[in-house]
A and B are shown apart, each in its own frame.
Chain A
Amino acid sequence: MRKLLIKGGRLIDPDTRTDEHLDLLIVDGVVAERAPELTPDDDTRVIEAAGAIVTPGLVDMHVHLREPGREDEETIESGSRAAAHGGVTAVAAMPNTEPAIDTASWVEFVRNRESQIMVYPIAAITKDRAGETLTEMAELAAAGAVAFSDDGSPVVNPSIMRRALEYSTMVGLPIISHCEELGLSGRGVMHEGLASTMAGLRPIPAAAEEIAVARDIILAKMTGANLHIAHVSTEGSVELVRRAKDDGIAVTCETCPHYFTLTDDDVRSYDTHLKVNPPLRSASDLAAIKVGLADGTIDAISSDHAPHSLEEKQVEFDAAPPGMTGLETLLPLTLTQLVQPGTITLERAVELMSTDPASILRIPHGSLAVGAPADVTVFDPDWAWEITEDWFVSKSKNSPFTGRKVRGRVTHTVSRGEVVFEETDLNEGDARDEGEREPDVLSVHV
């Protein structure tokens, strides 16, 4: 028997409506017991978690692991180590690899690669992600795909999208939509507004996203399919999803830390690490995203982890590929930007990063109920630190958050009962932040 005891932490598990100081005993990869005071046997490994928060392992439902095709930027193995480093114990890998994940054998390839944590393949909606022919969704689902998406590009033809949604209802898996009306986004590289006017960069209007969100919500209503909207970034999109939910349409959505941390004004620096699709939006969009996270309109925070080589990013802004890494900064940014200013509670943060994405993908994660698979994240919520480039373990370093001061840091990650990450650099001198922090002027208190 392999036994692991996480001792002295504050256990937050929305699935069992728990928020109290409980010890957590894991036996053979399964949650075995939860109690205020558990005594370890001689053969039990103990993690001292006094002062720390213990939650179900984080679930990042939107990552790009680049394998097959761009193993120089990331592999499933390196991405899984980055995930473990960020407290993430399950990822859903997008299929826009080279080649695309559009056959059962590729789905099995992704599932069977060596990894530190659980990697769930998302399969393409259309063959080669070309937007023309549906993939064999039933076979892909049987092979282990957890959702379908052509992420990176939209399904342009509304008729194909309609058929994909209809067909997916037979399979019972969600369709994840990258919402972008290409006719409006065109060759744009940043959000349209005062900042794009000043930077002189070609603009992408918010409408390019919102028209596509509206289209897919209407198609979801028509087909009764489960639609999940990827990387929601605008006020209008949040409002469309809110209304759709009020109308009882089966739609869920996610946003990413960069959409509640950075704005289009930051892009005026021409830093290519800030180039992302959808683009960083205005301050009012950012505020609306925060409201949506707090009121339940937005169901999940995903990273849209998009590794790119330095060479590809060290070019003119127009020429750089969109995307930033994010697996490792998901938790500290959520804590720093949302929880500490009081926009959302810690419990809500755990729902957004674990319970709810697990439920959208119907994967066995997001719970610390007795008998559940033991995926656990332990973090120190008060650890104030600065993100540095050499701290990242991802193969790629294209993060705009390098140099940023954050508060909250993962100390242990447990996947299926195994400790897959343990912070060894417990720098006690690295001051716990007791003092005043800068007020978050954009924070929304709901």
Chain B
Amino acid sequence: MRWTGRHLLGLEGTTREELLTILDTAAKFREILDRPVKKVPTLRGVTIANLFFEASTRTRMSFELAEKRLSADTLNFSASTSSVKKGETLRDTAQNIEAMMVDMVVIRHSCPGAPHFLSQHLDASIINAGDGAHEHPTQALLDIFTMRERLGDLDGKRVTIVGDILHSRVAKSDIYGLRALGADVTLCGPSTFMPAEVERLGVTVTADIEEATSDADVVNILRIQRERQEGGFLPSLREYTALFGIDAARVARMKPDVVIMHPGPINRGVELAPDVADSERSVILDQVTNGVAVRMAILYLISRVRAAERAEELELLEVEL
């Protein structure tokens, strides 16, 4: 076992060993989810606050369920980010929550770096549930877990991520995790959706969907926000679909056992055709199930680090006494 982090702020810099620790731990929790009684007492007495400053359905539900399966006590806080600017500061909100003796904070925020900010001001462990266009580490972990279920070791496997890379926190966490595990990553999408110098992260960039997908083992399709036309990023969703939409005809030209993924929620008929989303190659619902297991693993590993810290403090205290 190799996990020493007291926070999960992102996957940047995470090693292969650390990732495998998380994934192996998640595999054990995944088994629990198939049992008739899907609950373990692992985090009894641990309090976790879920701070969602941005709308989220599946990530919030997935974390809540993971916490409940581990028998933790949970607090839920939802607010729109705009109210943060008007009223109480993030620091005050967080400190108030910490005053309630919370052990871990799961945070979703539209501002990149908000989890880092909290980690500097709170003693609680911080888990990033998505911060702006920065990272979404648990999503990448569940993506990778799901890929490994289908493909085994990812070393040398080809993963293509299609869509709006510029605004995507998922793509970045996927890139860091996949690169650490030795996978080849290709990004495909309109040139307006490619962030500056992204190829320096060790990925291949192309706007040619056929080239990007023909020998891919995994095609991970990102959601296209409908309002992107307004920023001048896209002339129309219609043209996006024509150039980059994944439909049955395009899938037919991919490897026969290609794995189709999507972090959800899907814009059916825009980035992904409904028949492909519902096809055998799609593992989209497996991703959702695995998300709970992966989040259980993270919560568990971080709680162990905290328990070890406490034990060390106690030991020191005893020495002093």
| Interface residues, chain A, with chain B CB atoms under 8 Å away | 192-194, 196-203, 205, 269-270, 311, 314-319
Contacts and interface: CB of A to CB of B under 8 A. Distances in A.
A319 B197 contact: no
A315 B113 contact: no
A311 B88 CA distance: 11
B113 A198 contact: no
Given A200-B113, A317-B113, 13 more contacts: A192-B196, A193-B197, A197-B195, A197-B201, A199-B112, A199-B113, A201-B133, A201-B134, A203-B195, A269-B116, A314-B89, A316-B84, A316-B114
B176 to A, nearest CB: 9
8 contacts: A194-B198, A199-B112, A199-B113, A200-B112, A201-B113, A201-B132, A316-B84, A316-B114
Which 10 pairs from chain A and chain B are nearest by CB? A200-B134, A270-B113, A200-B133, A316-B111, A200-B112, A197-B195, A194-B197, A318-B111, A317-B113, A192-B196
B127 to A, nearest CB: 17
A315 B90 CA distance: 7
A318 B112 CA distance: 8
Contacts of A201: 112-113, 132-134
Nearest to A186: B231
A367 B150 CA distance: 76
B184 interface: no
Interface in B157-211: 169, 172, 195-198, 200-201
Contacts of B91: 314-315
State which size class the interface on B falls in.
20 to 34
Given A198-B12, A200-B172, A270-B117, A317 B112 contact: yes
Nearest to B110: A318
Given A194-B200, A319-B111, A200 B131 contact: yes
Interface in B104-128: 109-114, 116-117
Contact of A196 (B85, B169, B195, B200): B195
A269 B119 CA distance: 12
A201 B117 CA distance: 14
Contact of B197 (A197, A200, A311, A316): A197
B116 A203 contact: no
A43 B13 CA distance: 66
B89 A315 contact: yes
Q: Which of B112, B114, B132, B201 has the most CB of A within 10 A?
A: B112
A316 B113 contact: yes
Contacts of A205: 196
Nearest to A205: B196
Contact of B112 (A192, A193, A194, A270): A270
B96 to A, nearest CB: 15
A246 B113 CA distance: 44
Contacts of B85: 319
A201 B169 CA distance: 11
A316 B109 contact: yes
B64 to A, nearest CB: 24
B117 A200 contact: no
A269 B10 CA distance: 13
Interface string B230-247: 000000000000000000
A202 B196 CA distance: 11
B151 to A, nearest CB: 27
B196 A203 contact: yes
Nearest to A194: B197
B135 interface: yes
Contact of B196 (A196, A314, A315, A319): A196
A198 B200 CA distance: 10
Interface in B131-149: 131-135
Contacts of A316: 84, 90, 109, 111, 113-114, 117
A317 B112 CA distance: 8
Contact of A193 (B89, B169, B196): B196
A318 B117 CA distance: 12
A364 B114 CA distance: 48
Interface string B62-94: 000000000000000000000011000111000
B257 to A, nearest CB: 32
Contacts of B195: 196-197, 203
Contacts of A198: 12, 172, 201
A194 B196 contact: yes
